[in-house]
Every structure is written in C-alpha cells, then in structure tokens.
Amino acid sequence: MRKDQIEGRNAVMEAILAGRPIYKIYLKKGERHGVIFRIMELAREKGIPLQEVDADAFYAMVRTSGHQGICAAVSPREYVEVDDILNHADSLKEDPFIMVLNELTDPQNFGSIIRTADCFGVHGIIISKNRACGITPSVVKVSAGAAEYMKIARVTNIASTLEDLKNKGLWVMGADAEGRDCFDVDLTGPIALVIGGEDKGLGRLIREKCDMLIRIPMKGHIGSLNAAVAASILGYDIIRQRLSKNAGKS
C-alpha cells in the first residue's frame, strides 16, 4: 500500500479535520505542547495510531526542515479532473475561478499559492503533469493545511486545457508584465487565471492561448514579482471585484 507523508502541525491538524486517511502520526519525543495536545486528542478520538520516537529516528524519517516535531503517514493525495472543479463551482452557484499554473516548479511558491487560493475561494488549481511541482510534503507544509481542501487537477497539456476552458465559457487571463493594468479590467466573470513558471513566465504558446494578458502596476526598480505574490495580488483583485459586484446587486 503506497503511503505519502505530511509534516508540520497545521498540515497534520488539517489532514485530521479534513478526514484524510492517516495510518500513523509520529511525534518527536518531548514535543508535548501547544497544538500538539489537540492533535493527540483528535488522533485518539479517531483511532489514529500515534507513536513517539527519539530525536535521531525522527530526524531520519522527516523530509523537510519545517516538520515542527510531527509528521504523519497518510494516503496519497488524490488529484481531480478539471470537470470536477467546474462542477464544484456550479454546485455553489458561482462563476468558476480557477488558477492555472504553467510549469511552476518551486514547492514554496506552489504551497503559498494553494494557501492563497483557499483564502480567496478559488474553486480549483490546474497544474501540469510534466516540468511542474506536484503535491509534496514541502508543498503541504507551506500551504498550512490548505492542500487538504483545494481541488487540484493535473493535465498533460496546459495549452489544450486552456482551449477547453474557453469553450466552456471561461475567460483566460494570463499574468504578464506586458498586459493591461489589472485594476482597469473587469474580472468578475468566469475566469481562469494563468500564472507562469519562475524562470520563463507564461511562455509563447500559453500567452497566445490567453484571451487577455493582465499585469500588476509597479513603480519600483524590480520589474517582476515572484509567482506566489503575483497570484496573491491578482487573486485578491478578482475576489474584491466579485464582492463589490455582488454588494451592488443587494
């Protein structure tokens, strides 16, 4: 039976609360304080085995530096289909808001984007199967447990997926320094926001597939933002515009 591993207090706590199958939780000896007590209580309530191990054994077990003295063996994280994301939005009677990550490889960026996307009510994230970061222990840790709730689809071809989304009524907006000022664009409809990879951005083909390119206005000396920060700012403006539009209807 294949198992994955998650590390960090928030990641383990949210996995328990989300009902993800957990085979065993491991605690470094001496880590009995704060939220650890709550995790231990929940583990006992749900019948999840919990084992304390000495420091040397624990450090040999963990894969990240942000473990906070706790890790858990869990069932592999299941990816969804793109249609599952669209159906989720439909079930909420909301216009779809999807983030598409094109060849994003940094676990720190991916985890941060998942956390941001959950806060903004994004219905799902689409990533590539190739040349992209998947859901690793580092990603789950950085997401502060948000990875347990976010619907994430992996696709073979981002370009063809964008075409499919357009055919289903979504506007594909690409984050690019040469785009229109995001604050001057109506972002209230069904949207797929495309964020490029750390090194080359969107790439020529993906740029061509976008209905529009949008940018974040900047005044400083550095001409670009890191992928997670860009996703946060653009995602915030999308949700801000949606909330403002809904408020105007009431």
Q: Is the CATH number 3.40.1280.10 carried by domain 82-249? A: yes
**What is the predicted pLDDT for the residue at 124?**
98
Calpha distance 124→110 (Å, rounded): 13
pLDDT single digits (tens) 152-196: 999 999 999 999 999 999 999 999 988 999 999 999 999 999 999
pLDDT-derived band at 83, boundaries 50, 70, 90: very high
One fold for 4-74 and 82-249? no
Sign of CA dihedral 29, 32, 38, 41: positive
Query: Which residue's entry shows tokens 């997670």?
Result: 228
**What is the predicted pLDDT for the residue at 250?**
59
Task: Give the number of other CB atoms < 10 A from CB of residue 55.
Answer: 12
Q: Give residue limits of the domains in the chain.
A: 4-74, 82-249
Q: What is the CATH number of domain 4-74?
A: 3.30.1330.30
According to DSSP, the residues that pair with 225 across neighbouring strands are none
**183 DSSP assignment:** G
**What is the predicted pLDDT for the residue at 24?**
95
**Do 206 and 158 meet the contact criterion of CB atoms below 8 Å apart?**
yes
Backbone angles phi, psi at 154, to 5 degrees: -110, 130
88, pLDDT greater than 60 = yes
35, pLDDT greater than 90 = no
Least Cα distance to 114 among 131, 126, 96, 102 occurs for 126
Q: Beta strand 70-74 with 22-28: parallel, antiparallel or unpaired?
A: antiparallel
Mean pLDDT along residues 64-78: 87
Mean pLDDT (the chain) is: 91
Least confident of 77-86, 88-97, 108-117, 127-136: 127-136
Give the pTM: 0.87
